[in-house]
Amino acid sequence: MNVLGIESSCDETSVAIISDEKLLANLISSQDFHSKYGGVVPELSSRAHLQIIIPLIKDALEKSNLTLNDIDLICSTAGPGLIGALLVGLTFAKGLAFSMRKPFVAVNHIEGHIYSGFLMEEKPEFPYLALVVSGGHTLLLLVESFSKIHKLGSTVDDAAGEAFDKVSKLLGLGYPGGPKIQGASENGNPKKIKFPIAELKDPYNFSFSGLKTSVLRYVQNNYTIKKNIPENDLADIAASFQKAVVRALIKNTEKALNNLEVNSISLVGGVAANQSLRNSIIELGNKFNKKVVIPRMEFCGDNAAMIAFRGLKLYELGYESKLNFSPFPSLAKEHFA
Ligand code: KG4
Ligand code: ZN
């Protein structure tokens, strides 16, 4: 079965083709121009998706040595995400499905991330703990099957990626914040500043907004304007902040490992690209003797391969979406218990 996947929820347009579960193409076009605005400008994002989507589909077919007629199933991200951006990929996918009389499956973006470990050679084994860390979400989940996801905890304010982006902005490092903070941290001392991590009543929930504020206070108390932060200090602040985020994420994951029987751990989402977090999850897996699956970089950030894979699994489970399916900007909870 040849599956075409389309992802356009934020600032990446991506088109992928999988044949059964074999990846034939996963093309990702990143809208780098948003960096000059310090964040994603929704309207510009929609327009850029519109411009690139057809050439990207043509390139993906060519790379896969297939024609449009060889496609058996069309899948697209339906949300959560930016409404205008989502509309481009979703409407395009529905139009294609209609004109080709092929089945169409709308895919929840977060579910795409949750199962993205299956794109790797070494796959997660059910039940597994999924730590989903992206720009919009931070979730700790018990994934029991392709149709049952139990939510253990989530952020009560900012997402982990959002915290990276906001702290990067306040340090004057630019957007997207994750890679900038990671880069700045390389020569820094993570033990220099002890930034606090939130202790919440619910053991599996996260909070990053207090951490962000404490970085802001630290900068305000020690420097007059951000341009005055010497490079060495900047590296120490970035490294100490990164360490605090990683500590918060690992702490709850460790609690879950102490309380639940799982076969593996999967770290997914854009922030899963963070080297320090990847190392810490691997260490945690070793400590508990659990298999750890972290997707390679192209499957961490937004990509259509994960959408095609999730769409295929949904189709196999008997799901098919109607062509009047509407995008949903916030998280739809169909498979979450
Ligand atoms: O999953 P994703 O591509 O988009 C959403 O679904 O939100 O995640 C994007 C987020 C951004 O906040 C970005 O700063 C963060 O992932 N990110 C990182 C790294 N690379 C990307 N965060 C920390 N370290 C990185 N290396
Ligand atoms: Zn994402």
Residue range of the domain that includes 153: 122-294
Q: What is the mean pLDDT of residues 216-240?
A: 91
The sign of the CA dihedral 254, 260, 264, 270 is: negative
Residue 177 alpha carbon, nearest atom of ligand 1: 14
Rounded CA-CA distance 303/8 in Å is 9
Q: What is the mean pLDDT of residues 270-286?
A: 98
Ligand 2 centroid to Cα of residue 66, in Å, is 27
For the cut 70, the answer to whether the pLDDT of residue 229 exceeds it is yes
Ligand 1 centroid to Cα of residue 65, in Å, is 32
What pLDDT score does 330 carry?
85
- Does one domain contain both 283 and 313? no
Can you read off the two tokens belonging to residue 87?
A: 């509309």
Ligand 1, residues at Cβ distance < 6 Å? 10, 134-136, 161, 164-165, 176-179, 182, 269-271, 273-274, 301-302
- Does one domain contain both 177 and 236? yes
Mutate to test the pocket of ligand 1, among 31, 107, 271, 307 (most ligand atoms within 8 A of CB): 271
Confidence of residue 335 (pLDDT cuts 50, 70, 90): confident
What pLDDT score does 62 carry?
98
Q: How far is CA 50 from the centre of its chain?
A: 22
Confidence of residue 329 (pLDDT cuts 50, 70, 90): confident
Rounded CA-CA distance 78/63 in Å is 25
- Does one domain contain both 212 and 328? no
**Cis before 176 (ω within 30):** yes
Backbone angles phi, psi at 264, to 5 degrees: -155, 175
Tell me the ligand closest to 182's alpha carbon. Answer: 1
Full-model pTM: 0.96
Averaged pLDDT score across all residues of the chain? 96
Task: Report the candidate in 104, 92, 269 with the shortest Cα–Cα distance to residue 176.
Answer: 269
Q: Kindly report, residue by residue over 289-316, the tens digit of the pLDDT.
A: 999 999 999 999 999 999 999 999 999 9
For the cut 90, the answer to whether the pLDDT of residue 173 exceeds it is yes
Structural domain count, the chain: 2
For the cut 90, the answer to whether the pLDDT of residue 225 exceeds it is no
- Does one domain contain both 91 and 76? yes
What pLDDT score does 89 carry?
98
Q: Kindly report, residue by residue over 39-48, the tens digit of the pLDDT.
A: 899 999 999 9
Rounded CA-CA distance 114/92 in Å is 24
- Does one domain contain both 303 and 210? no
Q: Closest Cα to atom 1, ligand 1: which residue? A: 270
Rounded CA-CA distance 185/238 in Å is 5
Tell me the ligand closest to 246's alpha carbon. Answer: 1
Ligand 1 centroid to Cα of residue 34, in Å, is 14
- Does one domain contain both 164 and 196? yes
Which residues lie near ion ligand 2 (Cβ < 5 Å)? 134, 302
What pLDDT score does 226 carry?
61
- Does one domain contain both 177 and 62? no
- Does one domain contain both 102 and 128? no
Residue 160 alpha carbon, nearest atom of ligand 1: 12
Ligand 1 centroid to Cα of residue 160, in Å, is 8
Q: Kindly report, residue by residue over 72-115, the tens digit of the pLDDT.
A: 999 999 999 999 999 999 999 999 999 999 999 999 999 999 99
- Does one domain contain both 75 and 150? no
- Does one domain contain both 109 and 130? no
Q: What is the mean pLDDT of residues 246-267?
A: 98
Tell me the ligand closest to 298's alpha carbon. Answer: 1
Q: What is the CATH number of the domain that holds 216?
A: 3.30.420.40
What pLDDT score does 336 carry?
67
